[in-house]
Amino acid sequence: ITVEKPSNGALLIQTVAQDGLFQIEEVSYFNKSDLAHAQTAEKDWTRQSMYAGPPFENLDEDLQTFLERYLDERGINAELANMIPDYIQVKEQKEYVRWLEST
């Protein structure tokens, strides 16, 4: 999940959707928002070589709660986490049918 503000860089919140919940694994800030997206191997290497900060569970509990509420208020919640596996299944089926039609 990437949160960007013009001219203020980007906050990258790495999460895992599992069992109907989003689990935050890592939160990183980048001065240049293009590093948060890392569309090239060079940018990905640059991003990975930077200090990403402490693991999420080592952050202050109030900050952890704030970040979880921040995501929840923006619709990144249990409802979305439950929808993702269904969406992935539909998308995979469509891709499979398209692949069959092209062979």
Confidence label for 84 from pLDDT (cuts 50, 70 and 90): very high
Mean pLDDT, to the nearest integer, of 63-92?
94
Cα distance between residue 75 and residue 13, in whole Å: 14
- Convert the pLDDT of each residue in 86-103 to its tens digit: 999 999 999 999 999 998
Interstrand relation of 10-18 and 2-4 (parallel, antiparallel or unpaired): antiparallel
Q: Give the Å distances, CA to CA, from 73 to 33, 50, 67, 69, 70.
A: 22, 29, 10, 6, 5
Residue with tokens 């995501």: 71
Mean predicted confidence (pLDDT) in 77-84: 94
What integer pLDDT is reported at residue 24 of this predicted model? 95
Query: What is residue 67's predicted lDDT score, i.e. its pLDDT?
Result: 95
pLDDT digits (tens, 9 = 90+) for 12-68: 899 999 888 999 999 988 887 877 777 788 877 887 788 777 889 999 999 999 999
CA distance 20 to 23: 10
H or E element: which one contains 17? strand 10-18
**Which residue, 73, 82, 90, is CA-closest to 22?**
82
Relative to beta strand 2-4, strand 21-30 is: unpaired
pLDDT at 13: 93
What is the pLDDT of the chain when averaged over all its residues? 90
